[in-house]
Amino acid sequence: MAAAAAWRPCLPRAWLCRRAGQGCGRHYRAALCAELKKPLAIEDVASRPVRPQEVRVDVHFCGVNFADILVCRGQYQERPHLPFTPGMEFSGTVLETGTDVTRVKEGDRVIGVNAFNGMAEECITDQKTLWQVPEKVSLQEAAALPVSYGTAILALEHRACTQPGETVLVTAAAGATGLAVIDVATNVLQAKVIAVAGSDEKCKLAVQRGAQSSVNYSRGSLTEAVKKLAGGGGVNVAIDMVGGDVFLETLRSLAWEGRVVVVGFAGGTIASVPANHLLLKNISAMGLYWGRYQNQNFPVFSKSLSSALQYCQEGRIQPYVGAVFKLEEVNDAFLYVQQRKSVGKVLLSLK
């Protein structure tokens, strides 16, 4: 969606009315970022007509991601025009479709992934950004799938080519994506998982959710602990979301022909890859920016979401929702994530 289309629906209702020179009629509430690095406001927003390829969705739940916080600080790689509404993943029901829409129909339950504007009671998005939710999957579960499970599936299946019986190391294991990695690795790919987290409580949760073992990296050498758990040879696959020294220790924990997938830098530091480590063990280091696939390789992107929905429908995965906030509590939700209090997926409820 073009930048103008992405932020225009999030303008205050009164401003749109004055510009149009007429009454707005239908309106809805949305979280509005009018100034970077400031708290979000809940505003009435004027609805606009849907274009031929667009769909109007009645939003039930919206995921809260660290990327939403970054974009509201002006620190994300994408920078919407002010004012805008954050929220890149949501679930809900179709209210209205444009004249050329064929993928969904009115009343369908859907998940959506877009370039921000999901933290609102309704959202207009291109039909290509919507996937139908199967009957056995709740809208709350569905909202927890796109970013976390889309990332986990592409990291494990598409990038690392994880095989049954292999050992997978995952850092930030109690976060939404970390728990998704554990879920997919153990219950879909039949791999073994060593979970890495920064507290005993988070390690315990990771084990409860399927990890075979865990390491609290705040208590000593991560590399030594992992090699003991992995039987001395190291792990086959590592999914790292922390960066910095944790990434370097993760790299040293890999076995012969191990693969490490860099997903993020939650620790705030981007480490340089020591090429000699790659050489000595024939290690592969690769990155995964899941959202980029939407533009660069849409079939792969779409398959990650379709697979997540299918796995959930079949009962092979179970998304873990750690906290649900109301729309008017959006700033509390941001602070909750920012202070690293969250475990599992954090959602906003619009109902």
For residues 27 and 104, membership in a common domain is answered with yes
For residues 140 and 162, membership in a common domain is answered with no
Nearest-5° Cα angle at 173, 172 to 176? 90
Report if residue 284 sits inside a domain: yes
Report if residue 50 sits inside a domain: yes
Q: What is the pLDDT of residues 246-259, one digit of tens each?
A: 999 999 999 999 99
For residues 135 and 164, membership in a common domain is answered with no
Q: What is the pLDDT of residues 113-128, one digit of tens each?
A: 987 899 999 999 999 9
Report the C-alpha gap between 288 and 345 in whole angstroms.
20
* Tokens, residue 237: 């696959």
Residue 191 maps to which CATH number?
3.40.50.720
Report if residue 297 sits inside a domain: no
Q: What is the pLDDT of residues 84-111, one digit of tens each?
A: 999 999 999 999 999 999 999 999 999 9
For residues 163 and 139, membership in a common domain is answered with no
Of 291, 312, 333, which marks where a domain is finished? 291
Residue 279 has pLDDT above 90, yes or no: yes
For residues 162 and 131, membership in a common domain is answered with no
Q: What is the pLDDT of residues 158-211, one digit of tens each?
A: 999 999 999 999 999 999 999 999 999 999 999 999 999 999 999 999 999 999
Of 291, 312, 329, which marks where a domain is finished? 291
Report if residue 304 sits inside a domain: no
> Which amino acid, one-letter code, is at 337?
V
For residues 182 and 227, membership in a common domain is answered with yes
229 versus 8: the higher-pLDDT residue is 229
Beta bridge partners of 195: 170, 214
User: pTM here?
Assistant: 0.90
Please name which of 76, 155, 71, 187 lies closest in space to residue 119, comparing C-alpha atoms.
71
pLDDT band at 313 (very low <50, low <70, confident <90, very high): very high
For residues 136 and 261, membership in a common domain is answered with no
For residues 124 and 203, membership in a common domain is answered with no
Please name which of 48, 43, 29 lies closest in space to residue 83, comparing C-alpha atoms.
43
> Which amino acid, one-letter code, is at 81?
H
Overall number of domains in the chain: 2
CB 31 within 8 A of CB 59: no
Report the C-alpha gap between 120 and 24 in whole angstroms.
17
22 versus 217: the higher-pLDDT residue is 217
Please name which of 56, 332, 320 lies closest in space to residue 207, comparing C-alpha atoms.
320
Q: What is the mean pLDDT of residues 301-313?
A: 98
Report if residue 113 sits inside a domain: yes
Q: Which are the contacts of 291, defined by CB distance < 8 A and separation ≥ 6?
A: 88, 113, 147
Residue 96 maps to which CATH number?
3.90.180.10
Give residue 332's domain range.
Answer: 3-144+321-349
8-state DSSP, 191: -
